[in-house]
């Protein structure tokens, strides 16, 4: 005799995104910094992980400064996924509910 049972739980699938491409237009440029600064005060982004340019697990003004430094002086590119879309390789509490430019 087979007894039906219920299995409960959830499966989490990490969303692929491109770090620092916060306006999700496929390029990383000054437009992303403008959008990042605007969102800090005026919007609720769907992909917080893309805004975390320095990958410290937080989204704040330091991320804009980090990417501006790279754009203008080439100091340090953001951590992966930066070149192509992928899931975040480092655990943190930020979410990414969707990223339009991911394959």
What does the binding site for Ca ion look like in residue numbers (CB under 5 A)? 21, 23, 25, 32, 52, 54-56, 58, 63, 88, 90, 92
* Widest distance between CA atoms in the chain: 71
* DSSP conformation letters of 55-95: -SS--SHHHHHHHHHHHHH---PPPSSSSS-B--SS--S--
> Which residue, 92 or 100, is less far from Ca ion as judged by CB?
92
Min dist. Cβ of residue 56 to Ca ion (A): 4
Shortest distance in whole angstroms from residue 101 CB to Ca ion = 8
**For Ca ion, the closer CB: 2 or 51:** 51
When the beta carbons of 32 and 70 are compared against Ca ion, the nearer one is: 32
Q: Look at residues 58, 52, 48, 103 and name the one whose alpha carbon lies nearest to residue 79.
A: 52
């Amino acid at each position: 005799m087979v007894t039906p049972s219920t299995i409960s739980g959830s499966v989490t699938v990490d969303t692929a995104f491109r770090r620092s491409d916060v306006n999700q237009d496929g390029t990383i440029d000054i437009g992303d910094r403008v959008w990042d600064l605007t969102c800090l005060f005026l919007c609720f982004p769907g992909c917080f992980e893309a805004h975390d340019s320095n990958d410290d697990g937080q989204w704040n003004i330091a991320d804009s400064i980090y990417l501006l430094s790279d754009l203008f002086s080439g100091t340090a590119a953001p951590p992966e996924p930066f070149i192509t879309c992928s899931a975040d390789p480092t655990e943190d509490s930020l979410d990414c509910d969707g990223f339009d430019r991911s394959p």
